[in-house]
Amino acid sequence: MNKPNLLLLSLISSALIMQNAYAEHRLTIGTKLLAAGWQGNNGSISSSFNSDEGAQLAFSASYQYKKLYTGISVQNGKYNFSGAGPDQFTPTSRVSTNNVDVEHQELDLLAGYYFWDRISLFVDIKGVSNTWSNNDYKQNFGGLGFGVSGFHPFSDSWTGFGSAGFVGRGDIKDDNKIKVGEGRSGALEVGAIFRIAQNNTLNMGLKFRNYNFEYLDGSTQEYSVNGIFIGYNHSFVM
């Protein structure tokens, strides 16, 4: 159940931001496919869990003016658990799940500034929702995150990049907006960008996310979502 806490900063595609570092005005749109595994444990009461398969598709857009940038990212995917799955936590009870699919959605609104030539700091407003297929139970998470991103060109065609972020505290609520707990998370993303043409790039890399949650009944849950990704970006210079 805890995907809702994906508070990590899965930024809006570090790749987008990097390739824009020195543009006067630039609008960039992109898409990204992530192949990831979701694993964790439900605390001392229930068993550990590990997804059999899972993937997410993301769409993003960013705008940059000199050293200032802002962006939005929407991500959606589904994870299958043939055995034990993430427990559901409600305001009054805890529900174990087995043989279930969990749909995960994320929305990020991000703004940052290049305080140094190749390094920026950013803030991220994050919203995450998880929906279980067995009973359509939906859980939402929201929080404010902070992070740092950077890039380093290796050649005219290749650029390396990385980002790290965290959400120190965020509320977990059910679909009726009733609070069921709080959580924190962190994320790390590293990869490379290959320039196909002047305004067209491919990006690829690794993404690591970790979440820790505490619910109102004192139960805890911890999980990680790690995987590889590949994406494509196109920029419009104005």
What gap in Å lies between CA 157 and CA 196, rounded to an integer? 8
pTM for this one? 0.82
Q: What is the mean pLDDT of residues 124-148?
A: 89
Q: List, in order of start, the domains of the chain with CATH numbers.
A: 14-237 (2.40.128.90)
Four-residue CA torsion sign, 114, 119, 120, 121: negative
pLDDT at 81 over 50: yes
Listed in order, strand segments (DSSP E) in 85-137 are 88-89, 94-95, 98-113, 119-132
- Give 7's pLDDT tier (boundaries 50, 70, 90): very low
CA distance 28 to 232: 10
Helix (H, G, I), strand (E, B) or coil at 114: coil
DSSP state for residue 217 in the 8-state scheme: T
3-state helix, strand, coil in the chain (%, to 5): 5, 70, 25
Give the pLDDT mean for 140-155. 91
What mean pLDDT value characterizes the chain?
84
Rounded Cα distance between 17 and 221, Å, is 33
* 96 pLDDT tier (thresholds 50, 70, 90): confident
Structure confidence by residue, pLDDT tens digits, 26-50: 899 999 999 888 999 988 665 789 8
Helix (H/G/I), strand (E/B), else coil: 18? helix
pLDDT in tens, 176-231: 888 988 988 888 999 999 999 888 999 999 999 888 888 888 888 888 888 899 99
Between these two residues, 5 and 203, which has the higher pLDDT value? 203
Q: Could you give phi then psi for residue 133, rounded to 5 degrees?
A: -75, -25
Contact between 187 and 209 (Cβ < 8 Å): yes
How would you class 178 by CB atoms within 10 Å of its CB: exposed for 0-12, middle for 13-18, buried for 19 or more? Answer: exposed
Residue 223 or 93, more confident: 223
pLDDT band at 25 (very low <50, low <70, confident <90, very high): confident
